[in-house]
Structure 1
Amino acid sequence: MPRAHKGSAPRKGGQRRRGGARSSSAQADSGSSEDEAASEARSTASDCPSLLSTVAEDSPGGDAVDEQGQQEDLEEKLKEYVDCLTDKSAKTRQGALENLRLVLASRLLPDFLLERSLTLADALEKCLKKGKGEEQALAAAVLGLLCVQLGPGPKGEELFHGLQPLLVSVLSDSTASPAARLQCASALGLGCYVAAADVQDLLFCLTCLEGIFSQSCGVDGSAAPASLHGLFCAALKAWALLLTICPSTHVSDILDRQLPRLPQLLSSETVNLRIAAGETIALLFELARDLEEDFLYEDMDALCGVLRTLATDSNKYRAKADRRRQRCTFRAVLHSVEGSECEEETVRFGLEVLYVDSWARRRVYAAFKDVLGSGMHHHLQNNELLRDIFDLGPVLVLDAAALKACKLSRFEKHLYNAAAFKARTKARSRVRDKRADVL
């Protein structure tokens, strides 16, 4: 696949700026299965010491000597975790995988990982082959983070191509753990987006992911077990991510095949799957109008009717937070489908600003946010891959004086926090008032 798709914009035809919906809703989780897998992984006992204290104590504003010492200590512990990946105890391996996931999400360690890419690839291959459930899910999550760390270079491509068959195997195995299949779907989409250099690899991954979420697009969508809704949601999001770099020659066939089917997912019992389907529909309309400015959809009235219902849903049997998130998302989806421009969202990190101004850009941002979590801002500042994808330019190098100048004093932080607390209290009071119009 030409690298130009990833360097200049997150999707083909991205030169034209389009309004992007709010990126905050893109941070929604993939379903109850994913939450359970995460909680189980965190509660897993391990013979390895935790890296959480090392990561938390490290501060970007420390002295250069302290930072170097902390970096050396961190790398020593990481070496221990890499060794623990081949331990006979499943709990030890799971603990090592979980700690690797936490560090790779919050730190940028390309040199350290390049030296051990083969060792890590072999260890992850064994975890995916011989591991069960939680171990497979953690191994897939670490693989996705390794692709983000190594980028689209030779090592990243070699890592992804070596483990891609295993990801597909676990993903397609109906007897495998839903949590493991979910993480494999996410890793397959993210790894292909970052490391696949051939269009055939992209099309193969698209077909594989499409086959998974299409199982919930049958005549009776409710027939799918609720335990698989998280998997369908993850596969749909990964599929939409790959659509942002899909060549225009293949987009038309995908539109004809999936645009009439995806609206069936809007009636899903799971709010995350409904939202993922709505955002994907908005993305498909955006891609269609990039190909044909006067694009018309045959069942536009019926689709807009369903979207309008979801955008004003007030059913009391749904959780209040779910209703609010759903209405916010589907208002933006409805405006985009009807041809209106969406509000541009800004993401501030450090001294820089990222503009989320299209559904394609939003899907890419959300995909990296899901895997990096709280480390997203650190990677936006320092990871050349993300800066290339989002057109942020070279990494900014600031001296100590510049960093000190942009820091707030303790008194200024106190005033800021007090003002933010007051504004937050007022906003929550308005929402809690039953007479308030939350729409």
Structure 2
Amino acid sequence: MPRSKRKGGRGKPGGQHSVVQPFSDEDASIETLSHCSSLSDSTSTAEEGLSGETEDVAQEDFQYRLKAFIDSTVDKSAKTRQGALDGLKTAMATKILHEFILERRMTISDSIERCLKKGKGEEQCAAASLACLLCIQLGSGIESEEVFKTLKPIFKTILADGAANIQARQACATSLGLCTLVAEDDILDVYATMECFESLFTRSYIRDDGSRPTVNPQTTQLHTNALLSWALLLTICSASQIKTILHKHLPRLPRLLESDDVNLRIAAGETIALLFELARDIDPEFDFDNWEPLCDKLNALATDCNKHRAKTDKRKQRSVFRDVLKAVEEGEFQNETIRFGTERMVIDSWVRKRTYDAFREFVGAGMNYHLQANEFIRDVFELGPPILIDSTALKAMKSSRLERHLYNAAAFKARTKARSKFRDKRVDVGEF
């Protein structure tokens, strides 16, 4: 990362006619729980009474399946390649595989490159996502830099190719942003990548004469992904670069708030809030010339009652823009607490929120596990080294299911009694 560089069951391998099945959610859960018994996730494995020998067999079986997936990424069958990519994605999202991947990173990188160049649609999307997960597993250092140097030109080529599959372009827009955050070693190259994103999302700007560009929904999603990746890279820009960006883009970004697409409006609103936060970090007295018109526009979106918009879109939009309005008007952020194992992390800024959301998009339900055990992600969020938990002490800290049930039942009974008394009092007042 440019800011502070840090170095850092059994099945047959898929053949031409075989189909490698991706891990299911259940498989992912089992594999996650079988890894690293010193961490809190392993307590559930211990509770199931698995012996150390059984764990070794499961681990060996798991690695055998991973090797089969890697071999199958070069299969002639597109369906087999797709299954292999999905299997590797699920494994990397739910398990820490640094040592295993380190020995095979170039093989995996070559497979990703081949699938991006020769694959179509879904296969390219899966390969782009796998590239991000590979960088997340390797962390910020020489290994991920080597992988990214190979894949970056391919990402940019697909991104700029108007004739390429639109879903593949969308996936590359998202993956290029996070891979740049993790593995780019030159801040000037970060700025160059941001310019690639700018060339996309600025096409959705309302024109100076008030006319709107004609953009189909799929292309609008591409512009949304590009804007979010651009905002992610804002979080590692220098103060001088942020000043340049503020001058160039802050007066124009509010034009995206008039888009017909709710996701693009929300992405624009959150990016504006992020820019205001970064600007005030540099200069607490930061002043924006069009501050009042911007606040009026944000307030209108926070209280939007247009009948032609879907209720779910309006509800989602109002919630986000209430927070954006507070950020622009008062410099406030609505804190969110993330709990994982015995730890907790507070999302207390737009910078941290954008970074957290970017990682969570790729690891999904495995985010809490990575926050516990992935040294790179813990370093990004300044959580320190992974905490080793004694399984006996952790078990003592956890209440049993029966205890929780009894507590909840008692609390429910107490609430019912209190509400009954309150209702009785209201009845008495009415009769009086």
Per the TM superposition, whether the score is higher than 0.5 is yes
In 2: Cα distance, 1:328 partner to 1:5 partner: 37
Query: How much has 1:281 moved relative to structure 2?
Result: 0.3
Q: Deviations over 1:351-370 (max 9, x none)?
A: 11111111111100111111
Give the residue type in structure 1 aligned to 2:22: S
Which residue is 2:256 aligned to? 265
In 2: Cα distance, 1:365 partner to 1:161 partner: 24
In 1: Cα distance, 2:18 partner to 2:358 partner: 29
- State the identity %: 48
Give the residue type in structure 1 aligned to 2:45: G
The aligned length equals: 385
Alignment check: 8 A CA contact 2:21 2:87 kept:
no
2:298 corresponds to 1:307: yes
Query: How much has 1:54 moved relative to structure 2?
Result: 2.4
Residues 9-408 of structure 1 correspond to what in structure 2 (within 5 A)?
47-52=19-24, 53-58=26-31, 59=33, 60=42, 61-63=44-46, 65=52, 66-219=54-207, 220-408=211-399
Q: 1:418 to 1:176 in 2, by over 3 A?
A: farther
Which residue is 2:401 aligned to? 410
Q: 1:307 to 1:405 in 2, by over 3 A?
A: same
Which residue is 2:37 aligned to? none
Query: How much has 1:338 moved relative to structure 2?
Result: 0.9
Query: How much has 1:208 moved relative to structure 2?
Result: 0.9
Query: How much has 1:398 moved relative to structure 2?
Result: 0.8
Q: 1:81 to 1:342 in 2, by over 3 A?
A: same
In 1: Cα distance, 2:67 partner to 2:206 partner: 48
Q: CA RMSD in A?
A: 2.2
In 1: Cα distance, 2:190 partner to 2:149 partner: 12
Task: Return 5+ residue gaps in structure 2 as ranges.
Answer: 8-16, 34-41, 414-432
In 2: Cα distance, 1:213 partner to 1:420 partner: 51
In 1: Cα distance, 2:244 partner to 2:58 partner: 52
Query: How much has 1:6 moved relative to structure 2?
Result: 8.9
In 2: Cα distance, 1:260 partner to 1:416 partner: 55
Query: How much has 1:391 moved relative to structure 2?
Result: 1.0
Q: Deviations over 1:35-83 (max 9, x none)?
A: xxxxxxxxxx981133214223343321462433322221111110100
In 1: Cα distance, 2:372 partner to 2:277 partner: 29
Query: What SS does structure 2 have at the residue aligned with 1:129?
Result: helix
Q: 1:115 to 1:223 in 2, by over 3 A?
A: same
Query: How much has 1:2 moved relative to structure 2?
Result: 4.3
Give the residue type in structure 1 aligned to 2:20: C
Give the residue type in structure 2 aligned to 1:48: V
Give the residue type in structure 2 aligned to 1:354: M
Task: Return 5+ residue gaps in structure 1 as ranges.
Answer: 8-44, 423-439
* TM-score, length-scaled by structure 1: 0.83
In 1: Cα distance, 2:175 partner to 2:169 partner: 10
Q: 1:330 to 1:83 in 2, by over 3 A?
A: same
Which residue is 2:419 aligned to? none
Give the residue type in structure 2 aligned to 1:280: T
Higher relative contact order (CA 8 A, sep 6+): 1
Query: What SS does structure 2 have at the residue aligned with 1:223?
Result: coil
Query: What SS does structure 1 have at the residue aligned with 2:330?
Result: coil
Give the residue type in structure 2 aligned to 1:301: E
Query: Which structure has the bigger radius of gyration?
Result: 2
Q: Deviations over 1:198-230 (max 9, x none)?
A: 112211111111111111114144511112121
Alignment check: 8 A CA contact 1:222 1:268 kept:
no
